[in-house]
Each structure stands twice: as structure tokens, then as C-alpha cells.
Structure 1
Amino acid sequence: MKRMLYIVLIGLSLILAACGPSETEVITELEQEAKAQFDQQTQEPNQTLTHFSLYLPEGYKIDSNDETNVVIRQTDQLYLLFHNPFEDKQSQTYYESLEMLEDTTYLQSFEGEDYFGYIYLRPLETDYELHVGIGGTKITTQTTLDQVQSEASQLITILTSLDLNETNTSTETKTTD
């Protein structure tokens, strides 16, 4: 009886694994939607930080921030936002550094009239590392393959909302919900 249960469980595991999306399918869908996502109408910022404001979707909270780094959390998922104040929205510095890496699954750039964006994906032991960037600002997280597309969509929404506060000297985080 235990042997039969073991065989059934292995069979179900294999079926469930086979039902998940393949890397190729995820990348194809990601590429098809990313350009439109980068060109979307930007969300109005609802968070004001020291050097910039940005939109965070419902459920996303800022854990900590300083001049160039912001740690964002949504439940158990962490997002690290890096902002280089010396790079503008058309900077290709982060993208060019990623081009040199060899273990890349996906790296694609997206250019608009006033921005240079990219999406980068590489495998980790069990998950994937995902970067989404616009110019001198990028967000990085770890995610599963089946969540790559929805995560990338949320990260693009956050990045496209970024508004530099060059005259703001406040060090507090303000919520403007």
C-alpha cells in the first residue's frame, strides 16, 4: 500500500512539473508584453523618499531606504531598488555590465523617446534572479519561473513611476495614498 502511494505521489509530481511553463514560453510572453509595459502611462507616485518619489502597488511596503538603496517588501518577497543619481533615464551603464555576464537566461533592452530600459533574467539554484531597469535605476528580486512575467510587470510599473525630487531634502518616507 505504501509502495503504491509512493508511486502515485511521484507520478503526480512529474505531471505537475510538466504542466509548468518552460523558460522559452516565459521569455516569449515576457518579450511580447514588456515593450508595451515600458511605454505604458505611468502611475502617480504614492511614496516620497529623499531623492525620488515612486508608485508602489497595494501590499508593497518600504522596509528601509537611504540615498541610493531602497528595500521593498511584499509579504515574504523582497525587492532591492538601486538608484544611481549620477545616471539619467537613458543611461546604459547597468545594462552594459549585465551584457558581460555568461550565465544569462534573458537580457533584452527596450528604448523609448526618453528612457533606456531592460529586463535581465538568470537562473539560481532553485529560482531566478530578475532585474528590471530604466537608466540608472534598477529593481532586483528572486522569483520562480512561473512568476517572472507578473513580477516583471509590477517592477516595470514601479520604475516607470519614478520621479526625481532634486529639491526635496526630507529624509522621511511619506505615504500619499
Structure 2
Amino acid sequence: MSVSKKYFLMFLLLSGLIVGCSSIERQTEKAVKAAEVAFRDDDKQPNVEAGLIHVYLPQGFKVEEEDDNNVIIKQADKAYLLFVNPNEKEDSSVLFLAIKKQAGQYLVLHSFQNDDKFGFISIKESMKEKYELAVGIGGVKLTTETDKDRLKNDAKQMMEVVSSIQQ
């Protein structure tokens, strides 16, 4: 193999790696923006009662299991874990700070704030091509596992769910 062919093959390999990395970066940026827009909109009203929690669930979502502070939500074959700490208000950053202690593991750890509430999004790789996505406001956090192509849509819908819960 000639030297120029070796360099060409090396260039193709490096290009593939760069495109792969930038692709997840692009998807995480879109997810953060979608979550922030949903955080600021705050227009979804609860349409489901799950134990002590009144929550908005998008079409196709259903409550699978519930107890006082945790709800397992299903949508098709995907599970979401909703956690509600009734001792925290919408402006609390306790859940975010707990996640921040493990910050080295996250691809994204971003917070949003307005006058009366504090929200966040975190994304970390859980296994090859799968990502743990969590969004929260105050003492409410919703977590799921998703793939990179669904990060934006999941982040938006999850923030709508979280923002519908009165704290």
C-alpha cells in the first residue's frame, strides 16, 4: 500500500471519528435547547393522577406503577422514572447539586433558572449508543434511557411532564 493510500485511509478513519463525536454533541445541544424552551413555556396542565402526584402525560404515555413519591411511566417499550421530593420547592437546586457531584460522568449537565424555579438537564452515556437522560425542576426529576436521535424529543416531552407538577 502506498503512503498516500495509508494517509487517505487514516484521514477517513479520523473523519469518521470526528463526525461521530460531533453528531452526539449536536444532538445534546438540541436536547438542551428543547428542554429549556419547555422549561420556560410551562403551559402543560396535569391530566393524570398518580398517587399523590398530579401530572401531565403526553399522548401514548401511561402510568405503570406508582407510590407516594415515585411513578414509573411507560410509552411503548420505554420506561421513565418520575421522582418527586415533596420537601423541595420549584426553586430548589438540591437534585441538581447531587447530580453535579458526579459531573465528570456527564456529557451534559446544564441548569436553567427564572424568578421562581430552577431546572436542569443531564445526559450521560449509559452504554454504546444509549444515553441516560434526566430533567428536573426543583424537587422533581424524570429519568429515562434513550438513543441519540431521540434526545431532543425526549428532553422536550420530559420537561413538559416535570413542569406540570405543582411543588
What TM bracket, shorter-length normalisation? 0.7 to 0.9
Which TM-score applies when normalising by structure 2?
0.82
1:130 maps to what in 2? 133
Separation (CA, whole Å) in 1 of partners of 2:115 and 2:95? 19
Separation (CA, whole Å) in 1 of partners of 2:46 and 2:148? 29
Return the structure number with greater helix share: 2
- Confirm or deny: 8 A CA contact 1:117 1:135 kept in the other structure: yes
Separation (CA, whole Å) in 2 of partners of 1:88 and 1:95? 13
Instruction: Give 3-state SS (helix, strand or coil) of 1:97's partner.
Output: helix
Which TM-score applies when normalising by structure 1?
0.78
1:156 maps to what in 2? 159
Deviation at 1:29, TM superposition (A): 1.9
The 5 A counterparts of 1:44-123 are 44-101=45-102, 102-123=104-125
Separation (CA, whole Å) in 1 of partners of 2:76 and 2:45? 23
Deviation at 1:112, TM superposition (A): 1.4
Separation (CA, whole Å) in 2 of partners of 1:21 and 1:37? 24
Matched length: 148
Residues 40-49 or 57-66, more deviating: 40-49
Deviation at 1:20, TM superposition (A): 10
Q: Give structure 1 stretches of 5+ with no counterpart.
A: 1-14, 165-177
Q: Give structure 2 stretches of 5+ with no counterpart.
A: 1-15
- Determine if the alignment matches structure 1 residue 146 to structure 2 residue 146: no
Instruction: Give 3-state SS (helix, strand or coil) of 1:163's partner.
Output: coil
- Write the letter of the residue equivalent to 2:28: I
Percent identity between the two aligned chains: 32
1:23 maps to what in 2? 24
Q: What is the root-mean-square deviation in Å for CA atoms of aligned residues?
A: 1.9
